[in-house]
Amino acid sequence: MVKKLIAGNWKMNGSLAANEALLAELLQGLGQPGCDVAVAVPAVYVGQVQALLQGSAIALAAQDVSAHDGGAYTGEVSAPMLRDFAVRYALVGHSERRQYHGETDALVATKAQKALAAGITPIVCVGETLAEREAGQTEAVVKRQLAAVIHAVGACVTEIVVAYEPVWAIGTGKTASPEQAQAVHAVLRAQLAAASTQAAKVPVLYGGSMNAGNAEQLLAQPDIDGGLIGGASLKAQDFLKIIAAAA
């Protein structure tokens, strides 16, 4: 069985003072978590949060990573730069990057490769829009998104994390039902299994309005190995409850 991973995605939220207060409350309530825990913070706060998490059970994650190693790419942050700050995970292909920044499957796959090359675990986000779900394309969309990464990383597929995030459930309060989520997770698990005999060790997280009230039911599904949590990760007590539900 895969050890569950609960990852918070702060998105573009926070300040020096707010980050310090949130992490202090989290660390105070955390104890020895029965699952892996991470927080994905805005790039500008990676140094601050690295210092605050030193020696703790919470791993540091980035929300994105460049597809380039270095050079004239204004505004980008490379995987080796993130690694300098002990970043352990990086989200790649979050739907907000795909939607607002035009990130393609090929670009996301390159980002996953760059993260792996720097010793960072990519959390590969996949998910369908409402229109795609209503058109019966959910399975085809998530399989296409994941296939690009599987093809690019080859044998390193066992080193990735996958996050299924139905776009219609993100920040909307509309969670996929445990059965809806499990059905897609089973598809992703089968795709991973076809790529590697070791695929069972790849955590497949669910993201999309997961909260303190629904986490336990979602996390009880056989192929849901954790969560990628946006809004609820900004409230320490809610995030702690989700971590407890995963333990």
151 is catalytic: no
Under rule CB under 6 A, residue 165 binds ligand G3H: yes
Rounded least distance, CB 39 to ligand G3H, Å: 11
Q: Provide CB contacts within 8 A for 26, sequence distance 6+.
A: 58, 236, 239, 240
208 is an interface residue for ligand G3H by CB under 6 A = yes
Catalytic-residue membership of 165: yes
The one-letter amino acid at 7: A
Tell me the CA distances in angstroms from 213 to 55, 86, 210, 222, 237, one per residue in order.
30, 32, 8, 19, 12
Q: Which of residues 195 and 224 has its CB atom nearest to ligand G3H in the complex?
A: 224
Rounded to the nearest angstrom, the gap between the alpha carbon of residue 116 and the centroid of all alpha carbons in its chain is 15
Among 171, 193, 200, 220, which residue interacts with ligand G3H (rule: CB under 6 A)? Answer: 171
Taking CB under 6 A as the binding criterion, the range among 76-84, 100-108, 128-136, 164-172 that sits at the site for ligand G3H is 164-172
Nearer to ligand G3H (CB atom), residue 80 or residue 178: 178
Q: If binding is defined by CB under 6 A, does position 230 make contact with ligand G3H? A: yes
Cα dihedral value 46, 48, 51, 54, nearest 10: -50
Q: Provide the token pair at 41.
A: 């913070």
Give the nearer residue to ligand G3H in terms of CB position, either 93 or 207: 207
Distance, in Å, from the CA atom of 242 to the CA atom of 213, rounded to the nearest integer, reads 8
Number of C-beta neighbours around residue 43 at 10 A: 17
Active-site residue, from 96, 128, 132, 165: 165
Residue closest to ligand G3H, measured at CB? 230
User: Cβ closer to ligand G3H: 109 or 125?
Assistant: 125
Judged by CB under 6 A, the number of residues near ligand G3H is: 14
Check residue 228 for interaction with ligand G3H (CB under 6 A): yes
Burial of 126 per CB tally in 10 Å (0-12, 13-18, 19+):
buried
Residues binding ligand G3H (CB under 6 A): 9, 94, 165, 170-171, 207-210, 228-232
- Which residues are marked as active site? 94, 165
